[in-house]
Amino acid sequence: MTTTRDLEKLLGQSINGDMDAFERLYHATSAKLFGVVLRILKNRAQSEDALQDIYVRIWQKAGDFEPGRASIITWMATIARNRAIDIVRRQRPESDIEDAEIEILVSHDTVFEEVVLADEVRQLEYCLDGLEDDRQQIVRLAYLEGWSRAELAERFAQPVGTIKTWLHRSLRQLKECLGS
């Protein structure tokens, strides 16, 4: 799992010309940004082309990112959204497209869903931060990366039963924190 802090660090390294860091940033965020672009353009090939241009813009504007203003993923999604809207406007003669049509492409429901999802992710990150470090790692590896209980037991040098107990207790703690 790549956290907001991880993404910010990768972007910071990219500012200094670290192509490997930028590649890791791309791999961690491209699926999300592709979804944003595809919802607007409604054409997979065109969205793939746009995504490449979007990452060039992110590379060029990396120094403009201000962590206090927005999360990094919000900043990147805004660049993606704006680029996709520019493409839609460029493809149609001005007389054929109205701003209202653009708003339909980027519906309020979609934006609202993204805001709610971002808030839920922040809440989950907050609750995960409340777990002990090794418990955080175990939960992330088990539920976000699909590690088996046996793999976790080997990695943390604990019996499988202990790993199951840690996961159960950690999930209970997360559920309480999330108010579920």
pLDDT on residue 96:
44
Q: Does domain 1-114 have CATH number 3.40.50.300?
A: no
pLDDT on residue 42:
82
b/e sequence 34-55, b meaning 16+ C-beta within 10 Å: bebbbbbbeeeebbeebbeebb
One pLDDT digit (tens) per residue for the chain, 180 residues: 478 888 999 999 999 889 999 999 999 999 889 888 888 888 889 999 999 999 999 999 999 998 877 788 889 988 998 898 888 877 765 444 445 454 545 544 455 456 555 666 777 888 888 999 999 999 888 776 677 888 899 999 999 999 999 989 998 898 888 775
Long-range contacts of the stretch 174-179 (C-beta < 8 A, 24+): 174/124, 174/127, 174/128, 174/131, 174/139, 177/126, 177/127, 177/130, 178/123, 178/124, 178/127
pLDDT in tens, 113-133: 565 556 667 778 888 889 999
Instruction: Give the tokens for residue 36.
Output: 């944003």
Residues of the chain with CATH 1.10.1740.10: 1-114
Residues of the chain with CATH 1.10.10.10: 117-180
pTM of the model: 0.55
Task: Give the C-alpha separation, 5 to 21, whole Å.
Answer: 13
pLDDT on residue 90:
79
According to CATH, the topology of domain 117-180 is Arc Repressor Mutant, subunit A (1.10.10)
